[in-house]
């Protein structure tokens, strides 16, 4: 959940050429041939490959500001459904949520998910709204669906940690927060959440 007010490699076939024995006997000295050059596998391309590179950069970011810029690019990728209709409905759902018309936001997100069931961000956004509606059980279901589609979704991990913490399950909440930090080490909200839970879970200060 974004801020929770606020997560996918080639072989070369070996060709065997059978030569008749008579041909071998008649050949005096077959000329040596250069081995054909083997081309290196092409670098993966497309949205998924770009997203993978962004996550590599996010994990390697040295400062919070650098990481925020990369995270913004990742979130822009997540925000693309591939369907103009789904994107429009998502925009309307966010507008409804900002206007506190949460039931309308859920209704719109239901339609988005029906159109694009593999779109992780649609599940994540509905999880946000369900949480705001006071329905953590359904929110947890949508978080699970989000992470099934995008296991690196640090926002969904943060939302999971928040709900588990509110339910008194601090140990599992800590696991969720640390998973988010493994993907996004400079995430300030994740650092703060781990620090707040460390005394209760580990019995020590950070």
Tens of pLDDT along 20-67?
Answer: 444 434 444 444 455 444 443 343 455 667 999 999 999 999 999 999
Contact (Cβ atoms closer than 8 angstroms) between residue 96 and residue 61: no
75 has pLDDT over 60: yes
Host H or E run for residue 93: helix 84-98
Query: pTM of the entire structure?
Result: 0.75
Mean pLDDT of the chain: 83
Determine if residue 101 is left, alpha or beta; phi over 0 gives left, psi from -120 to 50 gives alpha, anything else beta.
beta
CATH topology of domain 82-135: 1.25.40
Q: What is the pLDDT of residue 202?
A: 64
Q: Is the dihedral of CA 43, 46, 48, 51 positive or negative?
A: positive
Q: What is the pLDDT of residue 203?
A: 63
Which tokens sit at 55?
Answer: 């996550």
Tens of pLDDT along 103-128?
Answer: 999 999 999 999 999 999 999 999 99
Contact (Cβ atoms closer than 8 angstroms) between residue 127 and residue 156: yes
13 has pLDDT over 80: no
Q: What is the pLDDT of residue 200?
A: 74
Domain ranges of the chain: 82-135
């Amino acid at each position: 959940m974004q801020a929770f007010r606020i997560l996918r490699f080639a072989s070369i076939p070996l060709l065997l050429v059978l030569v008749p024995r008579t041909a071998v006997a008649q050949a005096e000295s077959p000329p040596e041939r250069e081995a054909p050059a083997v081309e290196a596998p092409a670098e993966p391309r497309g949205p998924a490959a770009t997203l993978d590179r962004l996550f590599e950069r996010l994990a390697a970011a040295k400062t919070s500001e650098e990481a925020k810029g990369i995270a913004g690019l990742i979130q822009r990728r997540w925000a693309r459904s591939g369907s103009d209709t789904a994107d429009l409905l998502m925009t309307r759902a966010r507008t409804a949520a900002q206007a506190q018309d949460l039931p309308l936001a859920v209704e719109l997100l239901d339609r988005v998910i029906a159109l694009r069931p593999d779109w992780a961000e649609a599940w994540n956004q509905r999880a946000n709204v369900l949480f705001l509606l006071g329905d953590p059980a359904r929110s947890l279901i949508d978080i699970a669906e989000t992470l099934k589609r995008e296991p690196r979704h640090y926002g969904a991990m943060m939302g999971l940690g928040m709900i588990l913490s509110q339910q008194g399950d601090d140990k599992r909440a800590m696991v969720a927060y640390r998973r988010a930090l493994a993907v996004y080490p400079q995430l300030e909200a994740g650092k703060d959440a781990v620090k707040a839970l460390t005394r209760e879970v580990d019995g020590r200060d950070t």
